[in-house]
Amino acid sequence: MKNIQADIDKRVEFIKSILTDSNSQGIVYGNSGGKDSALVGILCKMATENVLGVMMPCGSKRNYIEDIDDAMEVANEFNIETITVDLSDIKNSLIGKIDNTIQLTDMARANISPRLRMTTLYAIALSRNSLVAGTGNRSEAYMGYFTKWGDGAHDFNPIADLTVIEIYEMLAFLDAPMSVRTKAPSAALFDGQTDELEMGITYEQIDEYLLEGKADPEIKDKIEQFHAKSEHKRNLPIVFKGWF
């Protein structure tokens, strides 16, 4: 059986080493009120006192109610400094400017939110001589379920190797609030969105495939199609290297 405490200790040491090697004074991360950001915030706070969680509502009704409530519950329980930067007006203004020239698709509009959040986190981190912690998990990464240059952008990620199942196991071990352990995973980019509904597949199915190699042929094909289609997200930009 996996030793969760030993795993946590290694991740905390990893974070400490990143801070030392980069000569950074602290960490900034997006506190979304979800499972992944909760675990990242807790691990970072175990590594350093100088951790700032940033709540960044950006238009979705859920951002202003459930997400903020859950984010603050985690912050209060683990004594994580937290601020709110409302990005809704900025997003609406940007969409308005672009729409004057080119009509954006719904997905293009939705992906503006995580990119604005990335910009906000890096601006704050640079002002505090801090690093930006990523909050994506292995399951999302394999499926390409993240926004390129949005929530996929960060300086380091202490949970990138953990599946969703493992995230929940670690949160339970740390006695994190039940609110973040029981809510349906969602990027909340638009009202009514959930990860599993949008992907058309459950995290249980994804994780069973990633951890045990088990999946019905139809499920396996679907997962691998998502993975292949999103390969560009997991690599640096493709550049011309010349003819040699």
Of the CA atoms within 13 Å of residue 91, those in its CB half-sphere come to: 25
pLDDT-derived band at 5 (thresholds 50, 70, 90) equals very high
Dist. CA 208–CA 215, nearest whole Å = 7
The residues facing 131 across adjacent strands are: 27
Average pLDDT score over residue span 152-176:
97
Residue 197, pLDDT score: 87
Residue 201, pLDDT score: 94
pLDDT tens, residue by residue, 171-194: 999 999 999 998 888 776 767 778
Residue 65, pLDDT score: 80
Residue 62 or residue 203, greater confidence: 203
Residue 244, pLDDT score: 55
SS3 42: helix
Residue 1, pLDDT score: 46
Average pLDDT score over residue span 67-83:
96
- pLDDT at residue 243 is higher than 70: no
Residue 198, pLDDT score: 87
Residue 80, pLDDT score: 98
Closest CA relative to residue 8, chosen from 35, 45, 33? 45
Mean pLDDT, rounded, of the chain: 93
Dist. CA 204–CA 219, nearest whole Å = 11
pLDDT tens, residue by residue, 108-151: 999 999 999 999 999 999 999 999 999 999 999 999 999 999 99
Residue that is written with structure tokens 């499920």 in the block: 219
Average pLDDT score over residue span 71-86:
97
Average pLDDT score over residue span 41-49:
98
Is residue 44 within 8 A of residue 16, CB to CB? The reply is no
Average pLDDT score over residue span 82-92:
96
Structural domains of the chain in order of their starting residue, each with its CATH number: 4-233 (3.40.50.620)
Dist. CA 244–CA 11, nearest whole Å = 42
- pLDDT at residue 16 is higher than 50: yes
Residue 183, pLDDT score: 86
Dist. CA 223–CA 213, nearest whole Å = 12
Sign of the CA dihedral 122, 42, 34, 201?
positive
Average pLDDT score over residue span 81-102:
96
The residues facing 52 across adjacent strands are: 28, 81
Dist. CA 136–CA 145, nearest whole Å = 9
